[in-house]
Amino acid sequence: MIGTRDGSLLWILLLSAASVAGSWALACATPFAALAALAATRMGRRDGLLLMAVAWFASQAVGFGIHHYSHSSKTLMWGGAIGTAAIVSLLAARWAERRARGGSALQLGAAYLGAVAGYKGMLVLWSLVLGGIGIALSPTYFAQGFVRDGAILLALLLLYRGLVAIGVPAAARGRLAAA
């Protein structure tokens, strides 16, 4: 029998694998905001941070190993920028989720909005240093990412609920564990 801690580790692996698949299919457009919102509402802080780090590492491995990203200093710096944005997205999602009132759907929605704001905000800050502010502030790219990550969040939530329903243990999380 798998305990709740093992269940959390299992979910880190499952969600990271889903992240790799998405990263490969979407040319490294890893859905960090979706992962952050799900982690904020379904995992403890440490496990959520571990998920974001593993998903970031996996996305970098796909980018450099499969998509053959350039090894230029700017590309490597953008990789680091994306990693910090992924962590900030989780922290923002957890902050927003804790302040949301209502049921788990409202908390998940708040977590997603917080994750998007944290992720995008950090990328905008990094673009001031690394260049690309026009892309970072593009309403078109923002809308595409928002909708794509929102759809992926719903798919991941359905996957999570479906697997828990057939006996896969839920990730360790005090509140919302049964949501």
Asked whether 42 and 108 are in contact (CB, 8 A), the reply is no
Any domain includes 121: yes
Any domain includes 173: no
Any domain includes 177: no
152: CATH: 1.10.1760
Any domain includes 118: yes
End-to-end CA distance of the chain: 22
How far apart CA 34 and CA 39 sit, in angstroms, is 9
Any domain includes 52: yes
Helix count and strand count (H, E) for the chain = 7, 0
Asked whether 100 and 110 are in contact (CB, 8 A), the reply is yes
Domain that holds residue 157: 4-165
Any domain includes 18: yes
Any domain includes 60: yes
Classify residue 179 by burial, with Cβ atoms within 10 Å: 0-12, 13-18, 19+: middle
- What does each of the 179 residues of the chain score in pLDDT, given as a tens digit? 344 455 677 788 888 787 777 666 766 578 999 999 999 998 889 999 999 999 999 888 888 887 788 888 888 999 999 999 999 999 999 999 999 988 889 999 999 999 999 999 999 999 999 999 998 899 999 999 999 899 989 988 888 888 888 888 877 764 433 33
* pTM for this entry: 0.86
Count of the separate structural domains present in the chain: 1
